[in-house]
Structure 1
Amino acid sequence: MKREGNDIVFQVVNYIIFGIFALICVYPFYYIVINTISANDLVDKGKIVFFPRGIHFSNYVDMLQRNGIARSAVVSVLRTVLGTGLSVLGASYMAFCFTKQKMWAKKFWYRFVVVTMYFSAGMIPVYLNIKMLGLLDTFWVYIIPGMFPVYNMILVKTFMESIPPSLEESAEIDGAGFLTRYFRIALPLSLPIIATVALFSMVGQWNSFMDTLLYIRDYNLYTLQYILYEYLNESESLAQMAQEGMDMSNAAQNMTPTSMRLTITVIVTLPIMLVYPFMQRYFVEGIMIGAVKG
């Protein structure tokens, strides 16, 4: 009985500690969300802490109706979907090749690839390389440079090395070629780590704005993150212009620099947060197995 009592106390303490930890993790985003839907004049005064007051959604309506938002959202979605797919394919295929003992000079090529993860030519040489490849002001500048992520390749390679070789040997005896073994055996069995690196790539593609800043001058190719980044930098002047064109008696819904920054934060963060729960199971399993060794 005494042991059961100790177990109950231990569980209660655990629930309290992890409950507090979960609250600390969730509250910042909750705070941002309630401030985006509360009266903007109260938000500016710091009076919204736990519960929303004067609920309205004009901040989101105003931001989503701004010039370029819809078009840039399409560009961001396309680069995220296509970039993630090709990145996962490139990393997994490269990893599959490096798991083969028959690969010519495997150790040399593996080290040659891995060293690029630690050393970069620098911003100017990379820019010149992108220019010589004819990728400036093209959609493919978002896709091609990130098609073979080395870190993701290492994770996938480690996972694939745990697949029993007998499966591929049996398939090879039955006449399966290299690509058949890759698509029919290696990829399906590596689904947990594939989901993990896909999530890494998805977050990177969705949040990226530096490549737009450096390589894109065509307004039609601007990503959502870059457009919002510009709005964020100009939030003071944009909010002032918005207020000048609105009825000042409706101060609760007139956008302010603070409400604009908070709304942009939610718009950028929410899509990834909606995707993550569906991939969490694979993500946890994949990262635990794939990161055991390099």
Structure 2
Amino acid sequence: MIREKRTVGSTIFNIINIGFFILFTLICIFPFYYMFINTISDNYLAATGKILLIPKGIHLKNYAEIFSLPGLGQAAFISISRTIIGTLLTLIGSAFLGYAYSRKEYWMRKFWYRFVIISLYFNAGIIPWFIMMKNLGMINNFWAYILPTVVSGFYVILFKTYVESLPASLEESAQIDGAGYMVRFSKIILPLSAPILATIAVFASVAQWNSFMDTLFLIRSSKLFTLQFLLYQYLNQVNVIAEALKTSTHPSVNPFELTPISIRMTISIVVVLPIMLVYPFLQRFFIKGILLGAVKG
């Protein structure tokens, strides 16, 4: 085993480097930690700014009250459904089109690929988009969340670039054995594309989970409201909700505990936490996919 000879300068640099990134990590984590400890602490102390590092008067009534808000269960179901279905269809659509653009024999490949790239820089705007969605029957339609995201130019470029980094001999050997495009795509390309697929899955799932503008413009029925849109409405009515919960006849509610600040922070945690729990499982694929997908354009 060869040991690297460390100089005093390199040791000092490593200490400073590690210390900097530890500090940077703490700075990134602290806002989420601060919100969380305020949601489980005494609401009066949180409202007066007396909760900084350590929670005081710990309780979970804020979460119990937020989850008891009307329509929250249905909205969570819609958000989870659109995230799962939308991410899966985005993976299929973007991967298939990205693979097609990586084939040199594709008809007018360069023209269509440049057409995809142009779409990243220009869009028609909200009004033409709304008119088009209305003409397609997407008003008050669950598929308004899914169909517009099936193919994304950015994901297509990522997948195409990754496929082109794979050894061409893998496909050539399968082609000699008589394998067609679909067989090569499903049996060779997809199994080798786990890193870039995980990268696209992270991007697509976060976009689906956080989106609420499509609900704002296209959805009228409360049964199709997403969790983000419903909680956005509650955030705008936080003072009204606080008063309503204070006057609740529920026996576990203390009239003096609920405040607009506690409700606002609890809602923020409810929205952010689920997608934060997904990221660590895909992180190693995400980093590898980004690096390999950015080698060439």
* Partner of residue 263, structure 2: 260
| Counterpart check, 1:123 vs 2:97 | no
- The answer (yes or no) to whether the contact 2:99–2:163 under 8 Å persists in 1 is yes
Equivalent of 1:200 in 199, 203, 216:
203
Asked if the contact 1:209–1:225 (Cα under 8 Å) also holds between the matched residues in 2, the reply is yes
CA shift digits 1:66-91 (9 cap, x unpaired): 10000110110000000000001111
Give the corresponding residue for 1:113: 116
Q: CA deviation at 1:117?
A: 1.4
Shift of 1:121: 1.2
Provide the C-alpha distance between the structure 2 equivalents of 1:140 and 1:250, rounded to a whole number of angstroms.
42
Within 5 A, what are the aligned runs for 1:1-294? 3-245=6-248, 250=254, 254-294=257-297
Q: Is the 8 A contact 1:40 1:251 kept in 2?
A: no
TM-score, normalised via structure 1 length: 0.95
Percent of pairs identical after alignment?
48
CA shift for structure 1 position 239: 0.7
Amino acid at match of 1:121: A
Provide Cα deviations, 1:221-278, integer angstroms capped at 9, x if missing partner: 111001100001100111122223369x9466x3211111101111111111111110
More off after superposition, 107-116 vs 84-93: 107-116
Cα separation, 2, equivalents of 1:15 and 1:111? 43
State the aligned residue count. Answer: 291
Q: In structure 2, give the amino acid aligned to 1:153.
A: V
CA–CA distance in structure 2, aligned partners of residues 242 and 21 of structure 1 = 38
Deviations 1:186-216 (A, max 9, x none): 1111110110011000000000000011001
Q: What amino acid is aligned across from residue 169 of structure 1 in structure 2?
A: E
Instruction: Name the TM-score, length of structure 2 as normaliser.
Output: 0.94
**For 1:288, what is the secondary structure of its paired residue?**
helix
Q: Is the 8 A contact 1:41 1:251 kept in 2?
A: no
Q: Which runs of 5+ in 1 are unaligned?
A: none
Structure 1 pair 272–205 and aligned structure 2 pair: CA distance change class (3 A) = same
* Counterpart residue identity of residue 164, structure 2: E
Q: Structure 1: how far apart are the matches of 2:177 and 2:6?
A: 59
Q: Which amino acid aligns with 2:140?
A: D
Give the letter aligned to residue 13 of structure 1: I
Q: Give the match's secondary structure for 2:74.
A: helix
Report the AA paired with residue 12 of structure 2.
V
RMSD: 1.6
User: Is the 8 Å Cα contact of residues 91 and 197 (structure 2) preserved in structure 1?
Assistant: yes
Q: In the alignment, residue 206 of structure 2 is paired with which amino acid? A: V
Change (3 A) 1:251 1:10: farther
Distance 1:3 1:77 in 2: 51
- 1:4 Cα deviation from its structure 2 partner: 4.5
In 2, Cα distance between the equivalents of 1:93 and 1:131?
28
CA contact (8 A) 2:247 2:255 kept: no
